[in-house]
Amino acid sequence: MDQTAFRVQALQIIERWPEWRWIPEGYMQLRWTFAGKCQEAASGDVVDEDVHIVWSQSYRVPVLYMHLSHSDGASFTVEEAFDFVSRNQMASSSSLGDPWSFLTKTEHPVLGVPFLHVHPCRTPDLMALFAREGSAAPLFTWLSLVMSLIGVRVPGAVASAFVQEGPAANGRSEEGDDGLPPDELTFPAP
């Protein structure tokens, strides 16, 4: 996968999972509020989560960045965020161990502010595995896995659409004749 394929596949995901949106600076964004019992922060208040999927030029793979905040807008401390992720992994039955092993705090590559991110050091191996296994939509396959790390399940209708229809179910080809996305691609308003 390269940056062009990332953009094409991101737009295909957004077509099927409308809670995501494309940010013109070149990344996907999903914002939501957790108010369910298993998703509460240690303090018991509502959690706002902002998730971005950004193409890493260094690793040449997609990377998940997230920012968690309390309902009053105060950002989570790293410890609160790790506690939140740990409890949501258990709630989603996708526990992969201690979040310290895969989450780190870093600067968002576009926004320049602190975010947590799922470290991309093993992502190239996963993406290569998806390609060897014949995944028609490696970004969706990766997204399904990495979202489970933070306790988020892909909606069944979205997963079914990718399984039943394939990645280019909208009638467009994945790429134009020149290997670039078709010119008619449009971006949802921010």
Q: Is 38 a catalytic residue?
A: no
Give Cβ neighbours of residue 48 (< 8 Å, ≥ 6 apart): 31, 32, 33, 34, 68, 69, 70, 71, 73
Query: In tens digits, what is the pLDDT along the chain, a chain of 190 residues?
Result: 899 999 999 999 999 998 999 999 999 999 877 654 334 444 456 778 899 999 999 999 999 999 988 888 888 888 888 777 776 654 444 444 555 567 788 999 999 999 988 888 878 888 888 877 877 788 998 998 888 777 777 888 888 888 776 665 443 334 333 333 333 323 233 3
Task: Output the pLDDT for position 165.
Answer: 67
Alpha carbons 29 and 42: distance in angstroms, whole number:
25
Q: Give the single-character DSSP code of 45.
A: S
Alpha carbons 143 and 13: distance in angstroms, whole number:
10
* CATH topology classification for 3-165: Yope Regulator; Chain: A, (3.30.1460)
Token couple for 77: 């401390």
Q: Do 38 and 88 contact (CB within 8 A), yes or no? A: yes
Domain coordinates in residue numbering, the chain:
3-165
Classify 52 as helix, strand or coil: strand
Catalytic residue among 96, 121, 128, 180, which? 121
Task: Output the pLDDT for position 89.
Answer: 55
pTM: 0.75
The dihedral through the CA atoms of 146, 149, 150, 154 has a sign that is: positive
Token couple for 115: 């975010």
Instruction: Write out the DSSP string of 104-137.
Output: EEEE-TTT-SEEEEE-GGGHHHHHHHHHHTT-S-
Pick the closest to residue 30 from 61, 66, 3 (CA basis): 66
Alpha carbon dihedral 86, 87, 90, 95, in 10-degree steps, equals -10
The dihedral through the CA atoms of 132, 92, 22, 112 has a sign that is: negative
